[in-house]
Structure 1
Amino acid sequence: MDYEIFNLGDVALQSGVILPNAFLAYKTYGRLNAQKDNVIVYPTAFGDQHTQNEWLIGSGMALDPDKYFIIVPNLLGNGLSSSPSNTAPPFDRAHFPQVTLYDNVSFQHRLVTDKFGIQKIALVVGWSMGGIQAFQWGASYPEMVERIAPFAGIAKTWPHTFVVLDSLKAALLAGTGFDSSKLNQLTSEDMRAVGRVYAGWGLSQAFYREELYRELGFDSLEAFVTGVWEHSFMKMDPHNVLAMLETGQHADISANPSYNGDFEKALKSIKALACIMPGSTDLFCSADDNAYEAKFMPNADFKPIPSIWGHFAGRGINSADNLFIDDNLKRLLALGPHE
């Protein structure tokens, strides 16, 4: 096991459900310094685990473990932290309760403060749903978080994003004939259709038009869709995916007692220096959505990733996109914390 477990005990979720014996899986890179001020929090995205974040961590990079103490907490529902696949009845599989990103960030805050005694975070960074968590950290703990850098992530699930996530859910639920009483019969085979649906959203029209999948070693469109999208989704537990989709669909940094749904107030409350990096061709976490959000943030720099890799410009696959993200993180970390 290349990660650690932080036991949360019985936790009260935003939904009102008490989830017993909850836990957060996390991995750390580098060492916490004596001042405890070299901390970077890097939450995982939908479907990802900590290993998928490691492309952005390395010696000489912005997230340099020789300089920083980097904490990668795993999203609840991803199979490592509390999830449908590892929770005992009555909350196993299809019975797992709704967990919000606000819940996730609250639990991560407990990890950071209770386990490590950290009071200041130099940076919260993340891709996709990890990016929403970066926004949530900034809104939930404005005095603690000095910088945030969401890439290909938005501050709430806008209506179009909700519809895209709903299409993934529908592709999965079709495996039961949309009969909610049969949810526990779902298998990894039912994930095949989910991968097919996501294939049209994860990458841009230009990516497909220019057949960039050939650079990844696939000689046809069909081979790419089968080899990447079907394969990656079929490796995921369908109940974990449903839980994470539920988390994603209800993401909103203002949907909590601090802001009571006042989204613009939540954005204005983020004191952190922010570098917001949407993928310029992202089809469902759009640059337009991020541009709107950045307008309300007092210290936001809006830096779209110039890429035809769509949402996956932030996934660590294309070297030019990786360099753009790393360079901007270096610039952000070089700025003194905002007073």
Structure 2
Amino acid sequence: MSKPYNTFELGNLDLLSGDVLHDAWIAYKTHGRLSARGDNVVVLPTFYTGTHARNEGFFGPGRAIDPERHFVICVDLLGNGISSSPSNSARAYGAKYPLVQMWDNIACQHRLLTEALGVDRIALVAGWSMAGSQAYQWAAQYPDMVDAILPFCASARTSPHNSVFLEGVKAALCADQTWDNGNYKSPPVAGLKAFGRVYAGWAFSQSFYREGLYRQLGFETPEDLLKDWEEDHATGWDANNLLAKLATWKAGDISAGPLYEGNFTAALGAIKAKAILMPCTQDLYFPPQDNAIEARHMPNAAFRPYDSPWGHCAANPGNDPGFTKQLEANIRELLP
């Protein structure tokens, strides 16, 4: 039975850290066709717990991103269990999986587009959370290739407070003795459940819980939601995959690498793409203040915050119709 996606072989991948990821690949799925002029490409990277399939909630017939008009490329993040990851590598990396940074992911995506898909211009890179961080990375790493970006509930550099959040969920997972420094023989279920419970406190806002919006998701109490998040993480995710992607997220910084050598302001200033930055004002770990700072240093950026009690999860398709409506309007403004 064929896989419902494609893979692009990368061979032994030299990473920004100086380490090597052996026999690597990235997974992807395309929708629509490349136009004769090559000017209709939309790249949608994946978010932290996302896959190419989850991205299908952001486009469709008659929508701002429409496969009838656009060539949509959904690319799986390294470490997400579909692209090269601790769980599917031929080498038993475990917790010693090398650090894969945003730079590495975008360099691989660039190879996919140019070597396999015949793409030399991108009309739009958009995405939620870590996918939005990759949109910034694309525009800084290949400024002459990207026409527009729309990162939503994301940032160009992971803030210190965001890192503290990540260390908290990581500590909850790694406290499970079954994790055994990444050498577990069976899933560290207690740690995965703790990870999910802690994460649920950050994914939604205080208003979400105060106003009982969890009932719109089918939960009678906050505890019901916590139990659901427990089970989702315990049954749906490999611990070392979560930690590998968490390391990528924590290291997020568009100025990392040889182009800007840590000069964040210079990296933002080098972005030529037209940009709309769309944070949620009640996002607890990608707050709008970070995007406001970024916009001041980007030549062609508009800062468009959206207020929603759904917090970071306002962007999840189906949660907040108002957010989706505004996102669609912003995309239409950027896309030909």
TM range (shorter): over 0.9
1:238 corresponding residue in structure 2: 239
What is the SS of the residue equivalent to 1:50? coil
1:51 corresponding residue in structure 2: 53
1:71 corresponding residue in structure 2: 73
* Counterpart Cα distance in 2 of 1:113 and 1:293: 29
Task: State the 1:261 CA deviation.
Answer: 0.3
The yes-or-no answer on 1:223 pairing with 2:207 is no
Flag the 1:94–1:178 CA change in 2: closer, same or farther, 3 A: closer
What is the SS of the residue equivalent to 2:197? helix
What is the SS of the residue equivalent to 1:42? strand
Which AA in structure 1 matches 2:38?
K
TM-score normalized with structure 1 length: 0.95
**Contact 1:9–1:20 (8 Å) recurs in 2:** yes
Task: State the 1:246 CA deviation.
Answer: 0.7
TM-score normalized with structure 2 length: 0.96
Provide, for residues 91-125 of structure 1, a one-character-per-residue CA deviation record: whole Å limited to 9, x for no partner: 3x223111001100000000000011211100000
Which AA in structure 2 matches 1:259?
Y
Corresponding residue to 1:5 among 4, 7, 30: 7
**Contact 1:154–1:289 (8 Å) recurs in 2:** yes
Segments of 5+ residues of structure 2 without an aligned counterpart are none
Provide, for residues 194-216 of structure 1, a one-character-per-residue CA deviation record: whole Å limited to 9, x for no partner: 01111110000001100001111
1:196 corresponding residue in structure 2: 197
1:337 corresponding residue in structure 2: none
Provide, for residues 60-93 of structure 1, a one-character-per-residue CA deviation record: whole Å limited to 9, x for no partner: 11110000000000000000000000001243x2
**Contact 1:188–1:236 (8 Å) recurs in 2:** no
**Contact 1:38–1:121 (8 Å) recurs in 2:** yes
Which AA in structure 2 matches 1:165?
L
Corresponding residue to 2:90 among 88, 98, 110: 88
What is the SS of the residue equivalent to 2:53? helix
Matches within 5 A, 1:1-339: 1-91=3-93, 93-176=94-177, 180=181, 182=183, 186-227=187-228, 229-234=229-234, 235-316=236-317, 317-334=319-336
* Counterpart Cα distance in 1 of 2:101 and 2:48: 12
What is the SS of the residue equivalent to 1:240? helix
**Contact 1:44–1:50 (8 Å) recurs in 2:** yes
Task: State the 1:286 CA deviation.
Answer: 0.6
Segments of 5+ residues of structure 1 without an aligned counterpart are 335-339
**Contact 1:176–1:186 (8 Å) recurs in 2:** no
Task: State the 1:186 CA deviation.
Answer: 4.7
Provide, for residues 8-39 of structure 1, a one-character-per-residue CA deviation record: whole Å limited to 9, x for no partner: 11110112122121000001111111121110
Task: State the 1:293 CA deviation.
Answer: 0.7
What is the SS of the residue equivalent to 2:27? strand
Task: State the 1:187 CA deviation.
Answer: 2.5
RMSD: 1.5
Task: State the 1:315 CA deviation.
Answer: 1.6
Flag the 1:60–1:159 CA change in 2: closer, same or farther, 3 A: same
* Counterpart Cα distance in 1 of 2:151 and 2:182: 38
* Counterpart Cα distance in 2 of 1:21 and 1:182: 21
What is the SS of the residue equivalent to 1:180? helix
* Counterpart Cα distance in 1 of 2:58 and 2:136: 19
Task: State the 1:175 CA deviation.
Answer: 0.7
Which AA in structure 2 matches 1:70?
V
Q: Structure 1 runs of 4+ off > 6 angstroms?
A: none
